[in-house]
Amino acid sequence: MRFFIKSIFFVLGISIIGLMLWFGMPNIQTAFKKVEVISVTITLNNKCSVDDDSFVVAVPGTDIMVPFKKGIARLRLKSDRKVQLQSNPKYEAVRYTGIHVPVEPKMILEADCSTSPRLKGIFGSMKNQFKN
Protein backbone atom coordinates (compact mmCIF):
# COMPACT_ATOMS: atom_id res chain seq x y z
CA MET A 1 0.00 0.00 0.00
CA ARG A 2 2.82 2.38 0.86
CA PHE A 3 4.57 1.68 -2.43
CA PHE A 4 1.34 2.42 -4.30
CA ILE A 5 0.95 5.84 -2.60
CA LYS A 6 4.61 6.72 -3.24
CA SER A 7 4.30 5.80 -6.90
CA ILE A 8 1.13 7.91 -7.26
CA PHE A 9 2.90 10.93 -5.72
CA PHE A 10 5.91 10.35 -7.97
CA VAL A 11 3.78 10.22 -11.13
CA LEU A 12 1.76 13.24 -9.99
CA GLY A 13 4.95 15.21 -9.26
CA ILE A 14 6.48 14.38 -12.64
CA SER A 15 3.21 15.37 -14.35
CA ILE A 16 3.07 18.73 -12.56
CA ILE A 17 6.71 19.48 -13.43
CA GLY A 18 6.06 18.52 -17.06
CA LEU A 19 2.99 20.77 -17.25
CA MET A 20 4.90 23.67 -15.68
CA LEU A 21 7.68 23.28 -18.24
CA TRP A 22 5.24 22.92 -21.14
CA PHE A 23 3.17 26.00 -20.32
CA GLY A 24 5.96 28.04 -18.75
CA MET A 25 8.49 27.79 -21.55
CA PRO A 26 7.13 28.72 -24.98
CA ASN A 27 10.34 27.56 -26.69
CA ILE A 28 9.50 23.99 -25.77
CA GLN A 29 6.09 24.34 -27.41
CA THR A 30 7.55 25.76 -30.61
CA ALA A 31 10.07 22.91 -30.78
CA PHE A 32 7.18 20.44 -31.13
CA LYS A 33 5.13 22.49 -33.62
CA LYS A 34 4.94 21.13 -37.14
CA VAL A 35 6.95 23.23 -39.59
CA GLU A 36 5.09 23.89 -42.82
CA VAL A 37 5.51 26.22 -45.77
CA ILE A 38 3.09 29.15 -45.59
CA SER A 39 2.27 32.10 -47.84
CA VAL A 40 3.30 35.34 -46.16
CA THR A 41 1.90 38.72 -47.17
CA ILE A 42 3.84 41.62 -45.67
CA THR A 43 2.51 45.17 -45.78
CA LEU A 44 4.92 48.07 -45.31
CA ASN A 45 3.93 50.89 -42.96
CA ASN A 46 6.44 53.48 -44.12
CA LYS A 47 6.92 56.36 -41.67
CA CYS A 48 10.18 57.44 -43.27
CA SER A 49 10.74 60.24 -45.76
CA VAL A 50 12.02 57.77 -48.39
CA ASP A 51 10.08 55.82 -51.00
CA ASP A 52 8.71 52.29 -50.34
CA ASP A 53 11.15 51.06 -52.98
CA SER A 54 13.97 51.84 -50.52
CA PHE A 55 13.05 48.82 -48.36
CA VAL A 56 13.17 45.06 -48.79
CA VAL A 57 12.13 42.09 -46.68
CA ALA A 58 15.12 39.90 -45.81
CA VAL A 59 15.05 36.38 -44.39
CA PRO A 60 17.94 36.08 -41.88
CA GLY A 61 20.18 33.08 -42.51
CA THR A 62 19.36 33.02 -46.23
CA ASP A 63 20.05 35.19 -49.25
CA ILE A 64 16.34 35.89 -49.77
CA MET A 65 15.50 39.59 -50.25
CA VAL A 66 12.08 40.58 -51.57
CA PRO A 67 11.28 44.19 -52.57
CA PHE A 68 7.93 45.82 -51.91
CA LYS A 69 5.58 46.39 -54.84
CA LYS A 70 2.91 48.97 -54.04
CA GLY A 71 3.75 48.53 -50.35
CA ILE A 72 3.28 44.73 -50.32
CA ALA A 73 5.77 41.85 -50.40
CA ARG A 74 4.72 38.23 -50.87
CA LEU A 75 6.84 35.21 -49.87
CA ARG A 76 6.51 31.49 -49.24
CA LEU A 77 8.46 30.55 -46.13
CA LYS A 78 8.64 27.87 -43.47
CA SER A 79 6.53 28.72 -40.44
CA ASP A 80 9.56 28.71 -38.11
CA ARG A 81 11.38 31.46 -40.03
CA LYS A 82 11.79 35.13 -39.17
CA VAL A 83 11.84 38.16 -41.45
CA GLN A 84 13.59 41.50 -41.16
CA LEU A 85 12.94 44.88 -42.76
CA GLN A 86 16.10 46.26 -44.35
CA SER A 87 17.14 49.01 -46.69
CA ASN A 88 17.33 48.06 -50.36
CA PRO A 89 20.98 47.31 -51.25
CA LYS A 90 20.64 49.10 -54.58
CA TYR A 91 20.35 52.42 -52.70
CA GLU A 92 23.64 52.92 -50.89
CA ALA A 93 22.64 56.27 -49.34
CA VAL A 94 19.87 54.66 -47.24
CA ARG A 95 20.69 52.43 -44.28
CA TYR A 96 17.96 50.72 -42.27
CA THR A 97 17.95 47.44 -40.36
CA GLY A 98 14.84 46.30 -38.50
CA ILE A 99 14.39 43.65 -35.84
CA HIS A 100 13.75 39.96 -36.58
CA VAL A 101 10.03 39.16 -36.55
CA PRO A 102 8.50 35.63 -36.63
CA VAL A 103 6.48 35.00 -39.78
CA GLU A 104 2.69 34.99 -39.88
CA PRO A 105 0.37 34.70 -42.89
CA LYS A 106 -0.43 38.44 -42.80
CA MET A 107 2.08 40.88 -41.34
CA ILE A 108 2.72 44.60 -41.12
CA LEU A 109 6.32 45.78 -40.88
CA GLU A 110 6.84 49.38 -39.80
CA ALA A 111 9.68 51.53 -41.06
CA ASP A 112 10.08 54.36 -38.56
CA CYS A 113 13.23 56.37 -39.20
CA SER A 114 12.75 58.58 -36.14
CA THR A 115 13.31 55.71 -33.67
CA SER A 116 15.79 52.85 -33.81
CA PRO A 117 13.91 49.55 -34.40
CA ARG A 118 16.29 47.73 -32.09
CA LEU A 119 15.58 50.21 -29.30
CA LYS A 120 11.84 49.85 -29.90
CA GLY A 121 12.21 46.06 -29.71
CA ILE A 122 14.14 46.24 -26.43
CA PHE A 123 11.65 48.59 -24.81
CA GLY A 124 8.71 46.60 -26.21
CA SER A 125 9.98 43.35 -24.69
CA MET A 126 10.70 45.09 -21.38
CA LYS A 127 7.18 46.54 -21.41
CA ASN A 128 5.69 43.07 -22.02
CA GLN A 129 7.83 41.50 -19.30
CA PHE A 130 7.04 44.05 -16.61
CA LYS A 131 3.43 44.89 -17.48
CA ASN A 132 0.93 45.02 -14.64
Cα 87 to chain centroid, rounded: 19
Q: Please, where are the H alpha helices in 1-132?
A: 2-24, 26-32, 117-129
Full-prediction pTM beyond 0.85?
A: no
Question: What letter would DSSP give residue 36?
Answer: -
pLDDT band at 106 (very low <50, low <70, confident <90, very high): very high
Write out pLDDT tens, residues 6-59. Answer: 888 889 989 888 887 777 776 666 667 788 999 999 999 988 888 888 899 999
